[in-house]
Amino acid sequence: MSGVIIAAIIVGAAGIGLGFFLAFMSKKFAVEVDEREAQVREALPGSNCGACGYPGCDGAAAAMVKGEAPTNACPVGGPPVAATIAGILGGEAGELVKMVAYVQCKGDCDKAKDSYDYTGVKSCVIASHAPGGGAKGCSSGCMGYGDCVTACEFDAIHIVNGIAEVDREKCVACSACVKACPKNLIEMIPYKRTAAVGCHSNDGGKDVKAVCKQGCIGCKMCEKACPIPDGAIHVENNLAHVDYGKCVGCGKCATACPVKVIEMFQVKKK
């Protein structure tokens, strides 16, 4: 019995000694944390979406304090959060260009044809591995099963008549929908720019017309109509692309487009 008691005493003493040792070492080798990091983290929205390019809000806060990221790196928080963080760290918040998600497809149920009836799991990722990349005749088009909707935490994207549509006023540019789309159909565009091409197909005009009533046919009428020097819209590999650094939203490309695949947006005044 005495042996058991002695063993217990030895184990207890060893545990206490180890505890004191660990406490001493933790203080000796403790890494000092800039208190501003906690303040910046508190100012961030806590979405942990990764849209800033860092692993969550903790990573963004650490990068901002170290000067590795600008104070306006968080697109979800926008100018108010950038201003708060600039006040904590000092300096200017800088101009933050508001971005929104845009789905490059106008081939809804009324405009696009299906090649067959798909009866599998209603998931874009899974359906994209079906024959032809899915049931839709256009293999580049939106399948409409809503993986992007599930990924969005801000209720900013919904399936309407078979394709995904973004609510520009709710979108916070977290890019979760961009990552969720297996067709790479969703891009981030400047909110203040008003022109966007609602097609992602590189097929020739004849092939596009065979499967969709509103797909880009690569006719270059938009190029010819653009008044910007060197052009703010160009057709490459049968598909029109807008240069948002040059586009002024005049709408002439949309007017000239024979299939009306170029979409113009009205920027809402607040």
Q: What is the DSSP string of 207-258?
A: HHHHHBTT------HHHHH--STT-SEEEETTEEEE-TTT-----HHHHH-T
Residue 149 phi, psi dihedral angles, 5° rounding: -65, -45
Residuewise pLDDT in 10s, the chain (270 residues): 566 677 666 666 777 777 766 666 666 554 556 788 888 888 898 878 878 888 888 888 888 888 888 888 888 888 888 888 888 888 776 667 788 999 999 999 999 999 999 999 999 999 999 999 999 999 999 999 999 999 999 999 999 999 999 999 999 888 899 999 999 999 999 988 789 999 999 999 999 999 999 999 999 999 999 999 999 999 999 999 999 989 999 999 999 999 999 999 876 655
Side-chain-side CA neighbours of 162 within 13 Å: the count stands at 14
- Position 217 in a domain: yes
Same domain, 129 and 240: yes
Give 189's strand partners: 100
CATH for 209: 3.30.70.20
- Position 20 in a domain: no
Q: For residue 111, give the amino acid letter.
A: K
Q: Is the pTM of this model over 0.85?
A: no
User: Which residue, of 89, 121, 155, is where some domain finishes?
Assistant: 89
Q: Please give the structure tokens belonging to residue 115.
A: 């090649």
Give the span between the Cα atoms of 198 and 166, in whole angstroms. 12
Domain that holds residue 53: 35-89
Give the span between the Cα atoms of 175 and 197, in whole angstroms. 19
CATH for 77: 1.10.15.40
Query: 81 vs 24, 39, 41, 136, 259, CA distance in Å?
Result: 39, 12, 11, 42, 42
- Position 17 in a domain: no
Give the span between the Cα atoms of 264 and 254, in whole angstroms. 7
Query: 37 vs 21, 31, 56, 161, CA distance in Å?
Result: 29, 13, 13, 46
Side-chain-side CA neighbours of 161 within 13 Å: the count stands at 8
Same domain, 109 and 205: yes
Q: What is the DSSP string of 13-25?
A: HHHHHHHHHHHHH
Same domain, 244 and 154: yes
Residue in the block written with tokens 């979409």: 263
